[in-house]
């Protein structure tokens, strides 16, 4: 591999000749060989804010037109995914994300200088003008998180809600045994059960949307400690307006920059809503695999698609694999929420120093949830069919339809009927007649599962 020599305040360092990053990026690459790369969603968010910052600095008269245009040109290349292999730094680096900020600054400067054919841009003096890693990284976090929710998670959720809505209507009159405490309960329809799943998704979506309001506040303009040192007093407000223009999202400048640098409240609160979604998805997936259990020795009340062989030793076995994938994703998101909470508590004085692991956890959660919901919807939910024979069998033999007798013979006599039917393994009708509590005509009039849902 060929190298070129780059310099920073610590001296010279060899950098791969075919890469645009500089000395600070290379030092980080040499010193931190821990885990995976910083998510590209963060890099793209940086490109948006660097473009907005350059345009704002030009408007304020502190950056000339040629440099502004060159910064914008390279930012567009980054957003066009043309420079992806120039962002090699890992998540587990400095807790402020300084090295990733400098990685972006260096790539923009060096690529811009290549295009210009001269030394036009300096990573600190021009690309990072009016900024600090301490305010750019939390700004990139909010931009990346907000945009990912809008472009990846919400579309997947909306498609699943649409599927559940259709399943609810298709099964509106399919009666099944309700269950509480994993024990038989009074009847419901399969459509009613599915409506509960749909409502979970709708409410989770609403809660995530509520959490996004605080993420619209951007730290940019606070610079190193929140005072805005070395930035024009209007830089934060104007740059937020420019970011809003570039993204189509009504971002605003945070009212208190000391808070936005040292506290990660907004993104932690938002991840809590993601944890709620994960819990709902766990519940739905578990319901589906319980109801599909069998095919002969389980509940077997619904059929789910047989997507692949389920066993390397048991021929013909098919497993609820999509449900299992969803539940594993749910566990990961719940684990990430613990990371988010502990990391947020580590704001020491004027800066939180756990930001890279927070945004990587957040992005992982959104990506996993979006992909799991999409897969579960396409490969499982859309193919759910009721097992009418099993549903009717269970509905008829359930002892809990005895509840319909309460208004006519009272709770205590109804309990005696249920206990007698269970002990003798006979139908409720037969048990009640033997006990002399009612006759067949009365039972048929009083007990009708269709009237109980």
* Sign of the dihedral defined by the CA atoms of residues 408, 414, 417, 418, in that order: positive
User: What does the buried/exposed string (b/e) look like for 320-333 if buried means 16 or more CB atoms within 10 Å of the residue's CB?
Assistant: bbbbebbbebbebb
d(CA 141, CA 39) in angstroms, rounded, equals 11
In order of 175, 195, 285, the CA distances from 164 in angstroms are 17, 7, 13
Q: Are 132 and 61 in contact (CB under 8 A)?
A: no
Q: Could you tell me whether strands 385-386 and 302-303 are parallel, antiparallel, or unpaired per DSSP bridges? A: antiparallel
- How close are the terminal C-alpha atoms of the chain, in Å? 72
Active site residue 181: yes
Active site residue 126: no
Cα angle 108, 114, 117; round to 5: 130
Q: In terms of Cα–Cα distance, which of 16, 35, 21 is closest to 99? A: 21
In order of 85, 200, 421, the CA distances from 364 in angstroms are 20, 22, 53
Gyration radius of the chain over CA positions: 30
Helix, strand, coil abundance in the chain, percent, nearest 5: 65, 10, 30
Say which residue the tokens 């971002």 belong to. Answer: 251
* Sign of the dihedral defined by the CA atoms of residues 444, 447, 451, 453, in that order: negative
In order of 1, 162, 172, 173, 189, the CA distances from 169 in angstroms are 63, 11, 5, 9, 11
Q: Are 107 and 78 in contact (CB under 8 A)?
A: yes
DSSP 81-136: TSSGGG---BSSS-TT-HHHHHHHHHHHHHHHHHHHTS----IIIIITTT--HHHH
- Per the residue annotation, which of 142, 311, 360, 398 is the catalytic one? 311
- Per the residue annotation, which of 130, 132, 181, 395 is the catalytic one? 181
d(CA 453, CA 204) in angstroms, rounded, equals 26
Active-site residue numbers? 181, 311
């Amino acid at each position: 591999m060929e190298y070129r020599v780059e310099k920073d305040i610590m001296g010279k360092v060899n950098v791969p000749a075919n890469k645009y990053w500089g000395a600070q990026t290379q030092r980080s690459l040499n010193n931190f060989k821990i885990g995976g790369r910083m998510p590209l969603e963060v890099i793209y968010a940086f490109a948006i804010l660097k473009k907005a910052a350059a345009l704002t600095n030009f408007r304020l008269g502190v950056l000339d037109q040629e440099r502004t245009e060159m910064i914008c040109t390279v930012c567009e290349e980054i957003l066009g995914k043309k420079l992806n292999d120039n962002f090699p730094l890992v998540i587990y680096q400095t807790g402020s994300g300084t090295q990733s900020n400098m990685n972006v600054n260096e790539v923009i400067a060096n690529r811009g200088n290549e295009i210009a054919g001269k030394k036009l841009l300096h990573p600190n003096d021009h690309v990072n003008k009016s900024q600090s890693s301490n305010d750019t990284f939390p700004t990139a976090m909010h931009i990346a998180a907000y945009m990912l929710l809008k472009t990846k998670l919400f579309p997947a959720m909306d498609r699943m809600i649409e599927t559940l809505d259709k399943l609810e209507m298709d099964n509106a009159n399919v009666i099944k045994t309700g269950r509480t405490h994993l024990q038989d309960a009074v009847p419901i329809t399969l459509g009613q059960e599915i409506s509960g799943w749909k409502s979970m998704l709708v409410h989770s979506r609403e809660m995530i949307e509520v959490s996004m309001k605080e993420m619209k506040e951007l730290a940019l303009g606070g610079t190193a400690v929140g005072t805005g040192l070395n930035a024009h007093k209007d830089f934060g407000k104007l740059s937020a307006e420019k970011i809003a223009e570039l993204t189509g999202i009504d971002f605003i400048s945070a009212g208190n920059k000391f808070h936005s640098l040292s506290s990660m409240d907004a993104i932690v609160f938002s991840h809590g809503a993601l944890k709620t979604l994960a819990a709902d998805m766990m519940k739905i997936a578990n319901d589906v695999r319980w109801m599909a259990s069998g095919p002969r020795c389980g509940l077997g009340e619904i059929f789910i698609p047989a997507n692949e062989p389920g066993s390397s030793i048991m021929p013909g076995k098919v497993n609820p694999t999509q449900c299992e994938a969803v539940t594993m994703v749910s566990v990961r998101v719940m684990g990430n929420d613990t990371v988010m909470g502990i990391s947020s508590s580590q704001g020491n004085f004027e800066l939180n120093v756990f930001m890279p692991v927070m945004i990587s956890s957040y992005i992982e959660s959104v990506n996993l949830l979006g992909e799991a919901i999409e897969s579960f919807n396409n490969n499982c939910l859309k193919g759910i069919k009721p097992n009418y024979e099993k549903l009717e069998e269970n509905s008829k033999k359930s002892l809990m339809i005895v509840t319909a007798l309460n208004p006519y013979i009272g709770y205590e006599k109804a309990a005696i009927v249920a206990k007698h039917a269970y002990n003798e393994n006979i139908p409720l009708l037969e048990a009640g007649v033997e006990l002399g509590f009612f006759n067949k005509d009365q039972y048929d009039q009083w007990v009708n599962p269709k009237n109980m849902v």
